Structure 1
C-alpha cells in the first residue's frame, strides 16, 4: 500500500509544479520572430533592405546550385575583403585545399578524392556564384560551410581566392604597415 501511495505522489508531482504535461513556456513566449514586423499598425513581414544578401532561413534564400551559379559577387575585392577572405581561408579552407589552394592540405592528403585545385584552369573558369554555391551547399567530399561562414564571408573568401591565389598577387597584410 505504501508503494502505491508513493507511486501516485510521484506521478502527480509534475502537476503541482505546473509542468504537466511538460511545460512549453519557452516555446510560447512573447518574442519577435525573424522578419516579423514590429509595427502594430502595419502587421506583416517587412521587406528586405536594398542590396541585402540572402542567408539560410530567409524566404528568398538561394536553394540550389543552379540558382547560385547566376549570382554575381556583391562584395568588392578591396583590401579589407581580401584580408578577411585570407583569414577565413586559412581557418576553414587551408586544411584541405592547402595554403596555396592547390588541394594539397594536410587533411586533403588523407582523403580518397583530392580537394579541387583552386588555381587550376577549370576552377578559374567557374563563376563566382558557382564557387559561392559550392561553399554553401557542399559537394562530393566538401561539406557545406553555410552554417560556419556568413554569405558575405563566403564572398570575401572568393575575393581572396580570385585576387591572390588565382592571379598570383601578393596577399594583403592583416594590418597596414606603419608609415
Structure 2
C-alpha cells in the first residue's frame, strides 16, 4: 500500500524531466553550451552506408565460400538453394521472390544486392541488423556465382 503513492510520484517526474533546448546555455558542459559537437571520427548514417558500399572486398574463393554459408543461413529459405525463388517459405504460401536468373537481376550490380540485403525490397525486410556489411558483400558475391552457374546451364 505504501508503494502506490511512490509510483504515482515517479510517473510525474518521468513526464516533467528538465531538458535543454538547442543553443541554450548549460552548466553541465565545460564550454557552457547544451549542444556539443560530435566526437572526432563520427560519420553520418547516410555517409556510413556510402563508405561501406565503396569498401567492397575483392572477389575471392574465400569470399564466395563465406557468401555461400551466409546465403544458406539467411537467404535460401525464400530464394531457394540455387536462387530461383523456390525456397521453403514461398512453398508454404508466402510471396515468391524473383529468380536471380531474371535478366534485370543478372544486369544488376553487386551493390544492388548489397543494398537490398541492407534495406530490404518489396516484401523482403532489411537484414542490416542481422548480417554484417562484409557478409552482405559475401552474399552478393555468392549470388553472382549462382547467376553464373545458372546461366551456364541455360537457366
TM range (shorter): 0.5 to 0.7
The offset of 1:12, in angstroms, is: 5.4
Match of 2:47 among 19, 35, 60: 60
Gaps of 5+ in 2: 15-36, 151-155
Deviation per CA, 1:58-105: give whole Å up to 9, x if none. 46244xxxx79xx55611111221111000000111101110111111
Runs of 4+, deviation exceeding 6 Å: none
Whichever structure has more helix as a proportion of its residues is: 2
1:167 matched to 2:148: yes
> In 2 relative to 1, CA 44–147 (structure 1 residues): closer, same or farther, beyond 3 Å?
closer
Aligned to 2:20: none
Aligned to 2:72: 90
Alpha-carbon distance between aligned partners in 2 of 1:166 and 1:72, rounded to the nearest angstrom: 23
State the secondary structure of the residue aligned to 2:126: coil
- What is the alpha-carbon root mean square deviation over aligned residues? 3.1
> In 2 relative to 1, CA 151–98 (structure 1 residues): closer, same or farther, beyond 3 Å?
same
> In 2 relative to 1, CA 143–10 (structure 1 residues): closer, same or farther, beyond 3 Å?
closer
TM-score under structure 2 length normalisation:
0.66
Match of 2:39 among 36, 45, 58: 45
The offset of 1:136, in angstroms, is: 1.3
> In 2 relative to 1, CA 59–128 (structure 1 residues): closer, same or farther, beyond 3 Å?
closer
Gaps of 5+ in 1: 1-6, 15-19, 25-42, 49-53, 170-179
Work out whether residues 73 and 155 of structure 1, in 8 Å CA contact, stay in contact via their aligned partners in 2.
no
> In 2 relative to 1, CA 113–59 (structure 1 residues): closer, same or farther, beyond 3 Å?
closer
1:10 matched to 2:15: no
Aligned to 2:10: 21
Corresponding pairs, count: 125
Alpha-carbon distance between aligned partners in 2 of 1:121 and 1:147, rounded to the nearest angstrom: 29
